[in-house]
Chain A
Amino acid sequence: MNLTFFLQNVVNALQWGSFYALIALGYSMVYSILMLFNFAHGDIFMVGTYIGFALTTAFIALSAAGIVVLPNWLILILTIILAMLFTSCLGMLVERIGYRPLRGGPRASAAITGLMIGIILQTTVLYIMGAQRVLFPSLIQTTTYNVAGVAVTNIKIMIVFVSIALMIALHQFVQHSKWGMAMRAMAFDYAVVPLMGISINTIAAMTFAIGSALAAAAGIMYGMAYPIIDPSMGILFGWKAFVAAILGGRGSIMGACIAGFLIGFIEIFVATIFPSTLRDLIAYSIIFVILVFRPHGLFGEPYSARLRL
Chain B
Amino acid sequence: MSSYSITEPSPRSKWIAGILVVSYALITLIPLVWIIATGFKSSSDSIAYPPKVFFEPTLEGYVNLFTRQTRATPEQLAATPPTTWYEQIVHDNGMVISGPSRFGERFMNSVIIGFGSTFLSVFLGTLAAYAFSRYRIPLKDDLMFFILSTRMMPPIAVAIPIFLMFRAAGLSDTHAGMILLYTAVNLSLAVWLLKGFIDEIPREYEEAALIDGYTRFQAFVKVVLPQAATGIASTAIFCLIFAWNEYAFAVLLTSGTAQTAPPFIPTIIGVGGRDWPAVAAGATLFLVPVMVFTILLRKHLLRGITFGAVRK
Specify whether A and B are partners.
no
| B→A interface (CB under 8 Å) | none
| A→B interface (CB under 8 Å) | none
